[in-house]
Amino acid sequence: MISGRTQLYGVLGHPVGHSLSPAMHNAAFEALGLDAAYVALPVAPERLPEALAGAHALGFRGLNVTVPHKQRAAELCGALDEVSRLCGAVNTLRRAAEGWEGFNTDAPACRDLAQAAGAGPGQRAVVLGAGGAALAGAWALLALGLEVKLAARRPAAAAGAAARLRAAFPAGPAVGAVPWEAAGGEAARAEVLLQATSVGLAGAAPGALPASPRPGQLAIEFVYGDTAFARAARAAGTALVTGEALLLRQGALAFTLFTGRAAPEPVMARALGAAPRAP
């Protein structure tokens, strides 16, 4: 039951009605007996600064941010952890005395899951996208020693993301940008294909990807749900890190940042499995 002492948390996005984060975090709060509540907060991009200021004024203890806010939110934080600073994107905000501390739990979550799935030094990866999720995914693969090429519909965005990542990893591995239409050929030669665009996201405009997973490849999908990319990976019989797996791992890391408590991941996983999906 929500009381006058309930601590508030939420996820900001546009759209955000599809988010499974409330189900996951509220189940964790209940399991640990914490007087806390987590809600979805739809915020248009142009209103993000006032939304963050308002949430702080209202006493929110922590926030997650999702598409399309991850890069802009990083710019609005009073302090950033090292990964957020290197990526230029956040997905977790923790209340500070003045404003918000920014963290990126997407990147270490992706790194850990990719490593467990066999990604490692000397391999090649293609990352589709150039936004906050793509930056986190590319950081994760570079941290594991893979060479990375980014492709985005906007060539300047891919080039900018590659330049930022080269500055973060000056000693390598190599990172660069390739044209969107060339991503299919590059992906055919890569050991890892990571999908971090909005294609497949509930409420997002439909679109086609320039590359599909092939047999023997590791596919990583940042969007959760029954996406065309995930279906293609399963049809190819390739290893797949799902959006749900990434959501769970980053959510557990965020939960610990919020509360200082170890996250009850099995409880969170069951809540994700039982939560209704957006049509």
Annotated binding site for NADP(+): 82, 129-133, 222, 243
Cβ neighbour number for residue 37 with a 10 Å cutoff = 17
β-sheet with 175-177: strand ranges across: 175-177, 147-151, 124-128, 192-195, 218-221, 239-241
The binding site for shikimate comprises 19-21, 66, 91, 106, 224, 250
Q: Give the Cα separation of 24 and 274 in Å (integer).
A: 10
Catalytic residue among 70, 95, 111, 249: 70
Cβ neighbour number for residue 277 with a 10 Å cutoff = 10
Q: Which two tokens stand for residue 61?
A: 């203890």
Cβ neighbour number for residue 82 with a 10 Å cutoff = 10
DSSP codes of every residue in 125-184: EEEE--SHHHHHHHHHHHHTT-EEEEE-SSHHHHHHHHHHHHHH-TT-S-EEE--GGGHH
Q: Give the Cα separation of 171 and 162 in Å (integer).
A: 14
Annotated catalytic residue 70: yes
- Region of 37 please: left (phi>0), alpha (psi -120 to 50) or beta: beta
Q: Give the Cα separation of 255 and 263 in Å (integer).
A: 6
> Annotated catalytic sites, by residue?
70
